[in-house]
Amino acid sequence: MFYFILFVLVIVARVSAEEAKEEDGILVLTTSDFDSAIAENEFLLVEFYAPWCEHCKDFAPEYSQAATRLKEAGSNVVLAKVDATVELQLAEKYEIRSYPTVKLFNNGTSVLYQGGLNDDSLVDWLKKKTGKPARDLKDKASVSAFKNETDFAVIGFFKDQQSESVKEFLNVAVELEDVLFGITSDSDSFKDNNVTKDGIVIFKKFDDGRNDFEGEFNENAIRSFISENQLPHVIEFAQAVVKKIFTSVVKKHILLFVKKEGSEDILKGFHEVAKDHKGKYLFIYLDIENANNAHLLKYFGVAENNSPDLRIVHFYEEITKFKPSSTGVDPAAIRKFIKEDIAGTLEIDYKSEDIPEDWDSRPVKILVGKNFEEITSNKNKAVLVQFFAPWCEECRNLNPVWDELAENYEKNDSIVIAKIDVISNELKDHNIEEFPTFKYFSRGNDQVIVYTGDYTLEAFTVFLESDGKEIVKVQVKETEDQAEDEEAAKVDTDETVDKEAKVDKEEKVDKVSKDDKETKDDKETKAEKAAKAAKKDKEEL
């Protein structure tokens, strides 16, 4: 009997092992074997992906390369993946909302990976998460090996590792998850790396190769030092560096849109200017022939036949874009562009489509950035504008009502019905955050009224006829259940209930029921707005 049980256990173990398939060094997990994989591995890194996701496809070879590197290094981290479009229970359980989502599982808890989608960033992050924030480097050999392990390494040289300076250094090491930190007190390592006193040195395999910290030993200064030197003088825009670009302490970026192949001289000049503005501007170039950059060309209003071209972007509370005042991308033109930006003489660039030839040929007038101000500021006409996004389903559903409204007022010389795509057109004084949004530009004055009424032909008509003074709100209808409850209350013949108290009670119940329904509707509206805002953010990114 004992041998039979043992035989069964062995068979079960083999079946379990066979269930977890492997592709390119990555475990392929499903709902049936996910929990056992977590239980069997101290550290399990899981990518939740979708087969149609382009970022997932780009990340696949990087993820596989990371798995290979970790195995060769003898790491106790196992990499796995889950098709979240098939394993819906797992996707729901772990709140997967975007692809790829990568989580590290350890002892029943999970940590979200938010670094770059490349093997270097992933491996460095895992080393930190599964070990100390800064690796203890005992001798010259370990320091040398550490420097060669990655393209960007930070080493703290401290004779006393219990000092306050070390505490500040380690706090930054914990925070910067995508940077590899080491620490040493070895005197030979000090001498071998030309370090004469306590200090922090960045060793990197690009640009000047080394940066020595010269500030005060506090978190802010150390963090800024690392951030300013973490990226090359010139960066090619790619998914792997997006996070580093947008989280950089350098908030002014100069972008070069160029065909990478055959533009060596242009890029050489770009590098030349970049060296003179280190820490003040990030210099980034985008290959216009890379299909992944197409949406950025559209966002910045750069036509492929107009390349090479330049833009400056300020990433402060609001993102502002600037075009150069003259053509050219040679070093002199780039320096002139930067000089004008520093002087504040450049005008903010607002993206606009070209004015369609037939923009006013139909009842609904089509506005773009270039004609918006002219049409809405006409004091002889009142203009009701719908601000929409192409992906907004509610906007599309509204089209029949909007078209009919415009047809009804087509022969009215004092009222214009219009709409504008605010994804393709940017407006100086109108920051639209919800779709659709309606604004009424009054006739004869500068008053602008935001319409908040019902999306029906009747409600829009009342609003227009009252010159924007009357707004018809959505009426909440009573449900059949409420009507039945009220009818039952009316025929209640309980003689012990005082009639006046009964009436009062019914009125209160009715009021509470309606208030509850209105509150529910309000919550649903907020949820819808939040979803729309999130969708807009995702679309713009």
- The answer on 168 and 120 residing in a single domain is no
The residue segments making up the domain with residue 209 are: 135-228
- The answer on 392 and 319 residing in a single domain is no
Q: In the numeric block, which tokens belong to residue 36? A: 């056992």
Domain stop point among 445, 466, 487: 466
Question: Dihedral, CA atoms, 326, 329, 333, 337, nearest 10 degrees?
Answer: 70
CATH of the domain at 262: 3.40.30.10
- The answer on 122 and 31 residing in a single domain is yes
Strand bridging mode 415-421 / 365-367: parallel
Q: Side chain identity at 459, as an amino acid letter? A: A
| Per-residue pLDDT at 386 | 97
**HSE, side-chain direction, 13 A CA sphere, residue 29:** 25
Provide the 8-state DSSP code for 302.
-
Please indicate, yes or no, if residue 500 is contained in any of the structural domains: no
Question: Dihedral, CA atoms, 202, 206, 207, 209, nearest 10 degrees?
Answer: 40
Please indicate, yes or no, if residue 471 is contained in any of the structural domains: no
- The answer on 124 and 206 residing in a single domain is no
Number of Cβ within a 10 Å radius of residue 31? 14
* Cβ(172)–Cβ(226) below 8 Å: yes
Domain stop point among 105, 130, 155: 130
Q: Is 206 exposed, middle or buried (0-12, 13-18, 19+ CB in 10 A)?
A: exposed
3-state secondary structure of 359: coil
User: Cα–Cα distance between 58 and 292 in angstroms, integer?
Assistant: 11
Strand partners for 111: 104
Please indicate, yes or no, if residue 358 is contained in any of the structural domains: no
pLDDT in tens, the chain (541 residues): 333 333 343 334 333 444 568 898 999 999 999 999 999 998 999 999 999 998 899 999 999 999 999 998 888 899 999 999 999 999 999 999 889 999 999 877 888 998 888 888 898 888 878 878 899 999 999 999 999 988 899 999 999 999 999 999 999 998 887 789 999 999 999 999 999 999 999 999 998 899 999 999 999 999 989 988 888 999 999 877 887 888 788 899 999 999 999 999 999 999 999 999 988 999 999 999 988 888 888 888 887 777 799 999 998 877 899 999 888 999 999 999 999 999 999 988 888 889 999 999 999 999 999 999 999 999 999 999 999 999 899 999 999 999 999 999 999 999 999 999 998 898 888 888 889 999 999 998 889 999 999 999 999 999 999 999 998 875 544 444 444 444 444 444 344 334 444 444 344 334 334 444 343 344 344 344 444 444 444 344 3
- The answer on 167 and 245 residing in a single domain is no
3-state secondary structure 140-162: HHHHHHHHHHCCEEEEEECCCCC
What is the DSSP secondary-structure string of 220-282? HHHHHHHHHHSS-SEEE--GGGHHHHHT-S--EEEEEEE-STT-HHHHHHHHHHHHTTTTT-E
Please indicate, yes or no, if residue 297 is contained in any of the structural domains: yes
**What Cα–Cα distance (Å) separates residue 226 from each residue in 126, 185, 214?**
19, 21, 12
- The answer on 431 and 336 residing in a single domain is no
* Cβ(146)–Cβ(137) below 8 Å: yes
- The answer on 321 and 382 residing in a single domain is no
**What Cα–Cα distance (Å) separates residue 495 from each residue in 498, 499, 501, 507, 524?**
7, 8, 12, 19, 42
Phi (first) and psi of residue 357, to 5 degrees: -60, -30
Q: Where are the alpha helices (DSSP H) in 454-498?
A: 457-465, 480-490
Phi (first) and psi of residue 154, to 5 degrees: -115, 125
Please indicate, yes or no, if residue 154 is contained in any of the structural domains: yes
Please indicate, yes or no, if residue 348 is contained in any of the structural domains: no
Please indicate, yes or no, if residue 526 is contained in any of the structural domains: no
Count of the separate structural domains present in the chain: 4
**What Cα–Cα distance (Å) separates residue 114 from each residue in 154, 400, 416?**
20, 43, 48
* Cβ(301)–Cβ(368) below 8 Å: no
> Which run of H or of E encompasses 2?
helix 2-19
- The answer on 258 and 220 residing in a single domain is no
User: Cα–Cα distance between 479 and 500 in angstroms, integer?
Assistant: 25
User: Cα–Cα distance between 489 and 503 in angstroms, integer?
Assistant: 9
- The answer on 203 and 141 residing in a single domain is yes
User: Cα–Cα distance between 156 and 134 in angstroms, integer?
Assistant: 9
- The answer on 141 and 94 residing in a single domain is no
- Omega of the bond prior to 100 within 30 degrees of 0, cis? yes
Rounded to the nearest angstrom, the gap between the alpha carbon of residue 86 and the centroid of all alpha carbons in its chain is 25
Domain stop point among 75, 103, 130: 130
| Per-residue pLDDT at 483 | 43
Strand partners for 511: none
Please indicate, yes or no, if residue 285 is contained in any of the structural domains: yes
- The answer on 100 and 32 residing in a single domain is yes
3-state secondary structure 14-38: HHHHHHCEEECCEEECCHHHHHHHH
Active site residues: 53, 56, 392, 395
3-state secondary structure 54-83: HHHHHHHHHHHHHHHHHHHCCCCEEEEEEE
* Cβ(202)–Cβ(154) below 8 Å: yes
Question: Dihedral, CA atoms, 184, 189, 194, 196, nearest 10 degrees?
Answer: 60
What is the DSSP secondary-structure string of 114-146? -S-SSHHHHHHHHHHHTS-SEEE--SHHHHHHH
- The answer on 418 and 431 residing in a single domain is yes
Q: In the numeric block, which tokens belong to residue 20? A: 């977890």
| Per-residue pLDDT at 19 | 54
